Amino acid sequence: MSFQENEIGNLLASVGNHEAKGVLLVAMDPHTIYNRPSAHRLFIDVQGSYVSWRMNVNGPFQYLQNSLEPTGLVAKEVLNPDLSTYGYIKTEYGQNVGEPFIGALISFLERHEDVSLRQLFGSTASSFFKTDNSPVPEDTLRDKVRSPLNRFRIFWELLTQKLPIKTYELALSLGVAPFQIGEHLDVLGRGNVITYHAAESEAPVSFFRLSSERPANTPNTYRTSVKLTEEIYDFMLRHSGELVDIQQVTASVVQGGHKKMATVSGVLASLVKQGYLEKGKFGYNVKSEIDLTDNQRLRLADLLTVIDQFQQMNPDWMRRNSEYARNFIADPQRVTSLLLRAKNRSPYVLEREVFAGTVLGVLARYPDITIVQLLEYLKDEHNMVRSKDGTRNILISLARKGSVESIKVKRIHRWRIK
Protein backbone atom coordinates (compact mmCIF):
# COMPACT_ATOMS: atom_id res chain seq x y z
CA MET A 1 0.00 0.00 0.00
CA SER A 2 1.47 3.33 -1.04
CA PHE A 3 2.23 6.18 1.33
CA GLN A 4 -0.31 8.28 -0.53
CA GLU A 5 -3.05 5.77 0.18
CA ASN A 6 -2.05 5.64 3.84
CA GLU A 7 -2.24 9.42 4.03
CA ILE A 8 -5.64 9.45 2.33
CA GLY A 9 -6.86 6.83 4.80
CA ASN A 10 -5.65 8.88 7.74
CA LEU A 11 -7.22 12.11 6.49
CA LEU A 12 -10.53 10.42 5.68
CA ALA A 13 -10.57 8.84 9.14
CA SER A 14 -9.70 12.07 10.94
CA VAL A 15 -11.63 14.82 9.13
CA GLY A 16 -12.99 13.30 5.92
CA ASN A 17 -15.83 11.26 7.41
CA HIS A 18 -17.59 13.98 9.42
CA GLU A 19 -18.48 17.55 8.45
CA ALA A 20 -18.22 18.83 12.03
CA LYS A 21 -14.58 17.77 12.37
CA GLY A 22 -13.67 19.51 9.11
CA VAL A 23 -15.50 22.68 10.12
CA LEU A 24 -13.69 22.73 13.46
CA LEU A 25 -10.22 22.41 11.91
CA VAL A 26 -10.78 25.11 9.29
CA ALA A 27 -12.23 27.47 11.92
CA MET A 28 -9.21 27.15 14.24
CA ASP A 29 -6.80 30.07 14.32
CA PRO A 30 -3.28 28.66 13.74
CA HIS A 31 -1.87 30.76 16.59
CA THR A 32 -4.46 29.87 19.23
CA ILE A 33 -4.49 26.97 21.70
CA TYR A 34 -8.00 25.60 22.23
CA ASN A 35 -9.04 23.93 25.46
CA ARG A 36 -12.38 22.22 26.09
CA PRO A 37 -14.54 25.36 26.58
CA SER A 38 -12.89 27.43 23.83
CA ALA A 39 -13.12 24.61 21.26
CA HIS A 40 -16.83 24.33 22.01
CA ARG A 41 -17.30 28.10 21.81
CA LEU A 42 -15.50 28.18 18.44
CA PHE A 43 -17.79 25.48 17.03
CA ILE A 44 -20.89 27.37 18.19
CA ASP A 45 -19.70 30.82 17.08
CA VAL A 46 -18.78 29.75 13.57
CA GLN A 47 -22.47 28.94 12.97
CA GLY A 48 -23.54 32.53 13.51
CA SER A 49 -26.89 33.61 14.96
CA TYR A 50 -28.71 30.40 13.99
CA VAL A 51 -26.99 27.40 15.59
CA SER A 52 -28.05 24.30 13.69
CA TRP A 53 -25.87 21.91 15.72
CA ARG A 54 -25.56 22.76 19.41
CA MET A 55 -23.11 20.02 20.29
CA ASN A 56 -22.33 19.29 23.95
CA VAL A 57 -19.25 20.94 25.44
CA ASN A 58 -17.12 17.78 25.18
CA GLY A 59 -17.80 17.05 21.52
CA PRO A 60 -15.40 19.44 19.70
CA PHE A 61 -12.58 18.79 22.17
CA GLN A 62 -12.98 15.03 21.67
CA TYR A 63 -12.64 15.58 17.93
CA LEU A 64 -9.34 17.34 18.54
CA GLN A 65 -8.15 14.70 20.98
CA ASN A 66 -9.29 11.50 19.28
CA SER A 67 -9.33 12.31 15.56
CA LEU A 68 -7.26 15.34 14.61
CA GLU A 69 -4.29 14.97 16.97
CA PRO A 70 -3.45 11.31 16.13
CA THR A 71 -3.05 12.23 12.44
CA GLY A 72 -0.99 15.36 13.08
CA LEU A 73 -3.57 17.94 12.06
CA VAL A 74 -3.39 19.50 15.53
CA ALA A 75 -0.80 19.24 18.30
CA LYS A 76 -1.24 19.00 22.04
CA GLU A 77 0.00 21.99 24.06
CA VAL A 78 0.26 22.18 27.86
CA LEU A 79 -1.36 25.30 29.30
CA ASN A 80 0.00 25.27 32.89
CA PRO A 81 3.17 24.06 34.64
CA ASP A 82 1.59 21.15 36.54
CA LEU A 83 0.43 19.56 33.23
CA SER A 84 -3.17 19.42 34.45
CA THR A 85 -4.56 21.68 31.72
CA TYR A 86 -3.89 21.30 28.04
CA GLY A 87 -5.31 22.22 24.67
CA TYR A 88 -4.69 21.83 20.96
CA ILE A 89 -3.23 24.07 18.26
CA LYS A 90 -3.49 23.69 14.50
CA THR A 91 -0.25 22.42 12.97
CA GLU A 92 1.42 23.43 9.72
CA TYR A 93 0.29 20.10 8.32
CA GLY A 94 -3.27 20.85 9.40
CA GLN A 95 -3.16 24.23 7.70
CA ASN A 96 -1.28 23.33 4.50
CA VAL A 97 -2.68 19.84 3.89
CA GLY A 98 -5.80 19.46 6.03
CA GLU A 99 -7.46 22.71 5.00
CA PRO A 100 -7.32 22.19 1.19
CA PHE A 101 -8.48 18.59 1.67
CA ILE A 102 -11.48 19.79 3.68
CA GLY A 103 -12.13 22.62 1.24
CA ALA A 104 -12.33 20.14 -1.65
CA LEU A 105 -14.71 17.89 0.29
CA ILE A 106 -16.92 20.85 1.25
CA SER A 107 -17.04 21.88 -2.40
CA PHE A 108 -18.11 18.34 -3.29
CA LEU A 109 -20.82 18.36 -0.60
CA GLU A 110 -22.19 21.68 -1.83
CA ARG A 111 -22.48 20.15 -5.31
CA HIS A 112 -24.17 17.02 -3.92
CA GLU A 113 -26.53 18.09 -1.15
CA ASP A 114 -28.23 14.69 -1.00
CA VAL A 115 -25.38 12.94 0.81
CA SER A 116 -23.18 13.38 3.90
CA LEU A 117 -19.61 12.35 4.63
CA ARG A 118 -20.82 9.88 7.26
CA GLN A 119 -23.03 8.17 4.66
CA LEU A 120 -20.07 7.91 2.29
CA PHE A 121 -17.23 6.91 4.61
CA GLY A 122 -18.83 5.63 7.81
CA SER A 123 -17.25 5.81 11.25
CA THR A 124 -13.53 5.61 11.93
CA ALA A 125 -13.51 2.24 13.70
CA SER A 126 -13.70 -0.77 11.41
CA SER A 127 -12.10 -4.12 10.79
CA PHE A 128 -8.86 -4.14 8.84
CA PHE A 129 -8.69 -4.96 5.19
CA LYS A 130 -6.02 -7.53 6.08
CA THR A 131 -5.54 -10.90 4.43
CA ASP A 132 -3.27 -12.35 7.11
CA ASN A 133 -3.30 -12.69 10.88
CA SER A 134 -0.17 -10.64 11.54
CA PRO A 135 -0.36 -8.15 14.42
CA VAL A 136 -0.45 -4.45 13.73
CA PRO A 137 2.66 -2.71 15.12
CA GLU A 138 1.95 0.11 17.54
CA ASP A 139 4.07 2.54 15.53
CA THR A 140 1.84 2.05 12.49
CA LEU A 141 -1.41 2.56 14.38
CA ARG A 142 -2.03 5.90 12.67
CA ASP A 143 -1.89 4.18 9.30
CA LYS A 144 -4.20 1.32 10.15
CA VAL A 145 -6.77 0.57 7.48
CA ARG A 146 -10.07 1.87 8.81
CA SER A 147 -13.62 2.17 7.57
CA PRO A 148 -13.19 5.34 5.46
CA LEU A 149 -10.34 3.81 3.46
CA ASN A 150 -12.29 0.57 3.11
CA ARG A 151 -15.16 2.55 1.59
CA PHE A 152 -12.75 4.43 -0.69
CA ARG A 153 -11.43 1.13 -2.06
CA ILE A 154 -14.96 -0.19 -2.58
CA PHE A 155 -15.92 2.96 -4.50
CA TRP A 156 -12.84 2.65 -6.71
CA GLU A 157 -13.61 -0.97 -7.58
CA LEU A 158 -17.27 -0.21 -8.34
CA LEU A 159 -16.25 2.56 -10.76
CA THR A 160 -13.67 0.41 -12.53
CA GLN A 161 -15.48 -2.96 -12.62
CA LYS A 162 -18.23 -4.10 -14.96
CA LEU A 163 -21.57 -3.77 -13.15
CA PRO A 164 -23.69 -5.28 -11.77
CA ILE A 165 -21.22 -7.30 -9.71
CA LYS A 166 -21.69 -10.02 -7.08
CA THR A 167 -20.46 -9.48 -3.54
CA TYR A 168 -17.98 -12.36 -3.75
CA GLU A 169 -16.62 -11.00 -7.06
CA LEU A 170 -16.10 -7.58 -5.51
CA ALA A 171 -14.45 -9.18 -2.46
CA LEU A 172 -12.12 -11.15 -4.71
CA SER A 173 -11.03 -8.02 -6.58
CA LEU A 174 -10.34 -6.34 -3.23
CA GLY A 175 -8.44 -9.34 -1.90
CA VAL A 176 -10.69 -9.84 1.12
CA ALA A 177 -13.33 -12.26 2.35
CA PRO A 178 -16.96 -11.39 1.45
CA PHE A 179 -18.01 -11.00 5.09
CA GLN A 180 -15.48 -8.16 5.46
CA ILE A 181 -17.42 -5.92 3.06
CA GLY A 182 -20.98 -7.17 3.59
CA GLU A 183 -21.82 -4.66 6.32
CA HIS A 184 -20.30 -1.78 4.34
CA LEU A 185 -22.41 -2.66 1.31
CA ASP A 186 -25.58 -2.97 3.36
CA VAL A 187 -25.07 0.46 4.96
CA LEU A 188 -24.14 2.08 1.63
CA GLY A 189 -27.23 0.58 0.03
CA ARG A 190 -29.54 1.86 2.76
CA GLY A 191 -27.96 5.31 2.38
CA ASN A 192 -28.58 5.31 -1.40
CA VAL A 193 -24.85 5.63 -2.05
CA ILE A 194 -24.98 2.40 -4.08
CA THR A 195 -27.74 0.05 -5.24
CA TYR A 196 -27.50 -3.15 -3.22
CA HIS A 197 -29.73 -6.17 -3.82
CA ALA A 198 -29.46 -8.70 -1.00
CA ALA A 199 -30.10 -12.31 -1.99
CA GLU A 200 -30.88 -14.27 1.15
CA SER A 201 -30.75 -18.02 1.53
CA GLU A 202 -31.23 -20.18 4.58
CA ALA A 203 -27.87 -21.97 4.44
CA PRO A 204 -24.34 -20.67 3.85
CA VAL A 205 -23.09 -20.99 0.26
CA SER A 206 -20.04 -23.12 -0.55
CA PHE A 207 -17.44 -21.71 -2.94
CA PHE A 208 -14.41 -23.30 -4.50
CA ARG A 209 -11.13 -21.87 -5.73
CA LEU A 210 -8.01 -23.38 -7.28
CA SER A 211 -5.40 -23.89 -4.58
CA SER A 212 -2.15 -21.97 -4.98
CA GLU A 213 -0.33 -24.92 -3.38
CA ARG A 214 -1.93 -27.69 -5.45
CA PRO A 215 0.07 -30.77 -6.52
CA ALA A 216 1.81 -30.59 -9.89
CA ASN A 217 0.52 -33.95 -11.12
CA THR A 218 -2.94 -34.73 -12.51
CA PRO A 219 -5.60 -35.38 -9.83
CA ASN A 220 -6.93 -38.85 -9.17
CA THR A 221 -10.31 -39.70 -10.71
CA TYR A 222 -13.41 -39.52 -8.55
CA ARG A 223 -14.82 -43.08 -8.56
CA THR A 224 -15.55 -43.92 -12.24
CA SER A 225 -16.11 -40.31 -13.38
CA VAL A 226 -12.93 -40.00 -15.43
CA LYS A 227 -14.19 -37.51 -17.99
CA LEU A 228 -16.16 -35.46 -15.47
CA THR A 229 -13.15 -35.16 -13.16
CA GLU A 230 -11.03 -33.95 -16.09
CA GLU A 231 -13.68 -31.46 -17.22
CA ILE A 232 -14.20 -30.01 -13.76
CA TYR A 233 -10.48 -29.67 -13.07
CA ASP A 234 -10.00 -28.07 -16.50
CA PHE A 235 -12.85 -25.66 -15.70
CA MET A 236 -11.19 -24.68 -12.43
CA LEU A 237 -7.84 -24.16 -14.20
CA ARG A 238 -9.53 -21.81 -16.67
CA HIS A 239 -11.04 -19.86 -13.77
CA SER A 240 -7.88 -19.72 -11.68
CA GLY A 241 -8.16 -17.17 -8.86
CA GLU A 242 -11.97 -17.00 -9.04
CA LEU A 243 -14.51 -18.13 -6.49
CA VAL A 244 -17.09 -20.42 -8.10
CA ASP A 245 -20.06 -22.29 -6.66
CA ILE A 246 -21.37 -25.74 -7.51
CA GLN A 247 -24.09 -24.35 -9.79
CA GLN A 248 -21.50 -22.64 -11.98
CA VAL A 249 -19.42 -25.82 -12.21
CA THR A 250 -22.44 -28.00 -12.94
CA ALA A 251 -23.64 -25.68 -15.69
CA SER A 252 -20.27 -25.97 -17.43
CA VAL A 253 -20.10 -29.78 -17.62
CA VAL A 254 -22.44 -32.41 -19.09
CA GLN A 255 -22.32 -36.16 -18.53
CA GLY A 256 -24.56 -38.48 -20.54
CA GLY A 257 -26.69 -35.51 -21.55
CA HIS A 258 -27.71 -34.79 -17.95
CA LYS A 259 -26.34 -32.36 -15.40
CA LYS A 260 -25.59 -34.28 -12.21
CA MET A 261 -25.03 -31.92 -9.32
CA ALA A 262 -24.55 -34.73 -6.79
CA THR A 263 -21.71 -36.23 -8.84
CA VAL A 264 -20.21 -32.78 -9.43
CA SER A 265 -20.29 -32.23 -5.67
CA GLY A 266 -18.42 -35.50 -5.16
CA VAL A 267 -15.74 -34.54 -7.69
CA LEU A 268 -15.27 -31.13 -6.06
CA ALA A 269 -15.00 -32.71 -2.61
CA SER A 270 -12.40 -35.16 -3.95
CA LEU A 271 -10.35 -32.33 -5.48
CA VAL A 272 -10.47 -30.44 -2.18
CA LYS A 273 -9.33 -33.55 -0.27
CA GLN A 274 -6.44 -34.07 -2.69
CA GLY A 275 -5.32 -30.46 -2.26
CA TYR A 276 -6.19 -29.16 -5.74
CA LEU A 277 -9.02 -26.88 -4.58
CA GLU A 278 -9.84 -24.75 -1.57
CA LYS A 279 -13.35 -24.57 -0.16
CA GLY A 280 -15.01 -21.87 1.89
CA LYS A 281 -18.49 -21.18 3.21
CA PHE A 282 -19.85 -17.66 3.33
CA GLY A 283 -23.09 -16.08 4.50
CA TYR A 284 -26.07 -15.22 2.32
CA ASN A 285 -24.76 -11.79 1.28
CA VAL A 286 -21.97 -13.37 -0.76
CA LYS A 287 -24.37 -13.73 -3.70
CA SER A 288 -25.91 -10.29 -3.33
CA GLU A 289 -25.55 -7.89 -6.23
CA ILE A 290 -24.19 -4.35 -6.37
CA ASP A 291 -24.98 -1.78 -9.05
CA LEU A 292 -24.89 2.00 -9.52
CA THR A 293 -27.58 4.26 -10.90
CA ASP A 294 -26.45 7.06 -13.19
CA ASN A 295 -26.68 9.57 -10.34
CA GLN A 296 -24.78 7.32 -7.94
CA ARG A 297 -22.04 6.77 -10.51
CA LEU A 298 -21.67 10.48 -11.25
CA ARG A 299 -21.51 11.30 -7.55
CA LEU A 300 -18.86 8.68 -6.76
CA ALA A 301 -16.85 9.62 -9.84
CA ASP A 302 -16.84 13.23 -8.69
CA LEU A 303 -15.74 12.19 -5.20
CA LEU A 304 -12.87 10.04 -6.41
CA THR A 305 -11.78 12.75 -8.84
CA VAL A 306 -11.53 15.15 -5.90
CA ILE A 307 -9.39 12.69 -3.93
CA ASP A 308 -7.23 11.91 -6.96
CA GLN A 309 -6.57 15.62 -7.51
CA PHE A 310 -5.64 16.01 -3.87
CA GLN A 311 -3.14 13.16 -4.12
CA GLN A 312 -1.32 15.03 -6.90
CA MET A 313 -0.63 17.92 -4.48
CA ASN A 314 -0.70 20.53 -7.23
CA PRO A 315 0.15 23.89 -5.54
CA ASP A 316 -2.52 25.85 -7.44
CA TRP A 317 -5.18 23.24 -6.63
CA MET A 318 -4.18 23.23 -2.95
CA ARG A 319 -4.27 27.04 -2.79
CA ARG A 320 -7.71 27.25 -4.46
CA ASN A 321 -9.24 24.74 -2.09
CA SER A 322 -7.67 26.39 0.96
CA GLU A 323 -9.31 29.62 -0.14
CA TYR A 324 -12.57 27.76 -0.68
CA ALA A 325 -12.42 26.43 2.88
CA ARG A 326 -11.68 29.86 4.36
CA ASN A 327 -14.44 31.55 2.33
CA PHE A 328 -16.84 28.85 3.45
CA ILE A 329 -15.99 29.20 7.16
CA ALA A 330 -16.48 32.98 6.91
CA ASP A 331 -20.09 32.45 5.80
CA PRO A 332 -22.21 31.30 8.80
CA GLN A 333 -25.19 30.56 6.57
CA ARG A 334 -23.20 28.02 4.51
CA VAL A 335 -21.69 26.51 7.66
CA THR A 336 -25.11 26.17 9.28
CA SER A 337 -26.61 24.61 6.16
CA LEU A 338 -23.83 22.02 5.84
CA LEU A 339 -23.91 21.06 9.53
CA LEU A 340 -27.70 20.79 9.53
CA ARG A 341 -27.63 18.37 6.60
CA ALA A 342 -24.90 16.33 8.28
CA LYS A 343 -26.78 16.24 11.58
CA ASN A 344 -30.05 15.19 9.95
CA ARG A 345 -28.29 12.35 8.14
CA SER A 346 -26.46 11.06 11.21
CA PRO A 347 -27.19 7.41 12.13
CA TYR A 348 -28.67 8.52 15.47
CA VAL A 349 -31.17 10.88 13.86
CA LEU A 350 -32.12 8.39 11.14
CA GLU A 351 -32.64 5.60 13.69
CA ARG A 352 -34.73 7.93 15.84
CA GLU A 353 -36.92 8.79 12.85
CA VAL A 354 -37.43 5.11 12.02
CA PHE A 355 -38.32 4.36 15.65
CA ALA A 356 -40.78 7.28 15.77
CA GLY A 357 -42.46 5.98 12.61
CA THR A 358 -42.77 2.53 14.14
CA VAL A 359 -44.31 4.00 17.31
CA LEU A 360 -46.89 5.86 15.22
CA GLY A 361 -47.74 2.64 13.40
CA VAL A 362 -48.30 0.78 16.68
CA LEU A 363 -50.49 3.59 18.10
CA ALA A 364 -52.56 3.60 14.91
CA ARG A 365 -53.33 -0.09 15.43
CA TYR A 366 -53.65 -0.01 19.22
CA PRO A 367 -54.95 3.37 20.44
CA ASP A 368 -55.08 4.38 24.10
CA ILE A 369 -52.23 2.16 25.28
CA THR A 370 -49.72 2.77 28.06
CA ILE A 371 -45.96 3.01 27.54
CA VAL A 372 -45.57 -0.46 29.05
CA GLN A 373 -48.06 -1.89 26.54
CA LEU A 374 -46.35 0.02 23.72
CA LEU A 375 -43.00 -1.51 24.67
CA GLU A 376 -44.57 -4.98 24.60
CA TYR A 377 -46.01 -4.43 21.10
CA LEU A 378 -42.68 -3.07 19.87
CA LYS A 379 -40.90 -6.16 21.17
CA ASP A 380 -43.46 -8.74 20.01
CA GLU A 381 -44.30 -7.31 16.58
CA HIS A 382 -41.12 -5.46 15.57
CA ASN A 383 -38.39 -7.16 17.62
CA MET A 384 -37.51 -3.73 19.07
CA VAL A 385 -36.29 -3.62 22.65
CA ARG A 386 -36.26 -0.02 23.93
CA SER A 387 -36.01 1.63 27.32
CA LYS A 388 -39.06 3.16 28.96
CA ASP A 389 -37.40 6.59 29.27
CA GLY A 390 -36.25 6.64 25.65
CA THR A 391 -39.70 5.69 24.41
CA ARG A 392 -41.29 8.34 26.61
CA ASN A 393 -38.97 10.95 25.08
CA ILE A 394 -40.06 9.90 21.59
CA LEU A 395 -43.72 10.19 22.59
CA ILE A 396 -43.17 13.65 24.09
CA SER A 397 -41.37 14.75 20.91
CA LEU A 398 -44.25 13.45 18.76
CA ALA A 399 -46.75 15.18 21.05
CA ARG A 400 -44.95 18.51 20.60
CA LYS A 401 -45.23 18.07 16.84
CA GLY A 402 -48.97 17.42 17.19
CA SER A 403 -48.75 13.82 16.01
CA VAL A 404 -49.88 12.09 19.22
CA GLU A 405 -51.60 12.95 22.46
CA SER A 406 -52.03 11.38 25.88
CA ILE A 407 -55.07 11.02 28.09
CA LYS A 408 -55.11 10.16 31.78
CA VAL A 409 -57.16 7.15 32.82
CA LYS A 410 -56.99 6.44 36.55
CA ARG A 411 -53.82 8.55 36.80
CA ILE A 412 -52.07 6.54 34.05
CA HIS A 413 -51.10 8.14 30.73
CA ARG A 414 -52.47 6.42 27.65
CA TRP A 415 -51.27 7.39 24.17
CA ARG A 416 -53.10 7.72 20.86
CA ILE A 417 -52.74 9.30 17.41
CA LYS A 418 -54.01 12.88 17.53
Inside any domain, residue 35: yes
Inside any domain, residue 128: no
Q: What pLDDT shows up at residue 199?
A: 59
Q: What pLDDT shows up at residue 337?
A: 96
In CATH, what number is assigned to the domain containing residue 256?
Answer: 1.10.10
Per-residue pLDDT tens over the stretch 319-361: 999 999 999 999 999 999 999 999 887 766 656 766 787 888 8
Instruction: Kindly state whether residues 19 and 94 are assigned to the same domain.
Output: yes
Q: What pLDDT shows up at residue 301?
A: 98
Q: What pLDDT shows up at residue 133?
A: 34
**Range 135-164 average pLDDT:** 71
Instruction: Kindly state whether residues 335 and 396 are assigned to the same domain.
Output: no
In terms of Cα–Cα distance, which of 53, 56, 52, 51 is closest to 39?
56
**Secondary structure (DSSP) of 299-314:** HHHHHHHHHHHHHHT-
In CATH, what number is assigned to the domain containing residue 405?
Answer: 1.10.10.10
Q: At 292, is the secondary structure helix, strand, or coil?
A: coil
**Range 135-150 average pLDDT:** 50
**Range 199-215 average pLDDT:** 71
CA distance 86 to 186: 41
Instruction: Kindly state whether residues 194 and 212 are assigned to the same domain.
Output: no
Q: What pLDDT shows up at residue 350?
A: 59
Per-residue pLDDT tens over the stretch 52-68: 999 889 999 999 999 99
Q: What pLDDT shows up at residue 300?
A: 97
Instruction: Kindly state whether residues 144 and 291 are assigned to the same domain.
Output: yes
The residue count for the chain:
418
Q: In this structure, what is the dihedral angle of CA atoms 65, 68, 72, 77, given to the nearest 10 degrees?
A: -40
pLDDT confidence tier of residue 258, bands split at 50, 70 and 90: very low
Q: Confirm if 223 and 231 have CB atoms less than 8 A apart.
A: no
Instruction: Kindly state whether residues 159 and 106 are assigned to the same domain.
Output: no
In terms of Cα–Cα distance, which of 334, 331, 307, 333 is closest to 321?
307
Domain carrying residue 324: 3-123+297-344
**Range 233-261 average pLDDT:** 75
- Total of domains in the chain: 4
Q: What pLDDT shows up at residue 122?
A: 84
| 53 contacts: CB under 8 Å, gap ≥ 6 | 20, 43, 47, 339, 340, 342, 343
**Range 168-175 average pLDDT:** 83
For residue 315, pLDDT over 80 is answered with yes
Q: Confirm if 324 and 107 have CB atoms less than 8 A apart.
A: yes
Q: How far apart are the first and last CA of the chain?
A: 58
**Range 152-172 average pLDDT:** 91
Report in angstroms the alpha-carbon separations of 22 from 71, 106, 276, 326, 366. 13, 9, 51, 12, 46
Instruction: Kindly state whether residues 327 and 353 are assigned to the same domain.
Output: no
Instruction: Kindly state whether residues 246 and 152 are assigned to the same domain.
Output: no
In this prediction, what percent of the chain has a pLDDT beyond 70?
85
For the entire predicted model, the pTM comes to: 0.66
Inside any domain, residue 45: yes
pLDDT confidence tier of residue 144, bands split at 50, 70 and 90: very low
Per-residue pLDDT tens over the stretch 102-119: 999 999 999 999 999 999
Task: Annotate 353-404 with three-state secondary structure.
Answer: HHHHHHHHHHHHHCCCECHHHHHHHHHHHHCCCCCHHHHHHHHHHHHHCCCE
Inside any domain, residue 133: no
For residue 127, pLDDT over 50 is answered with no
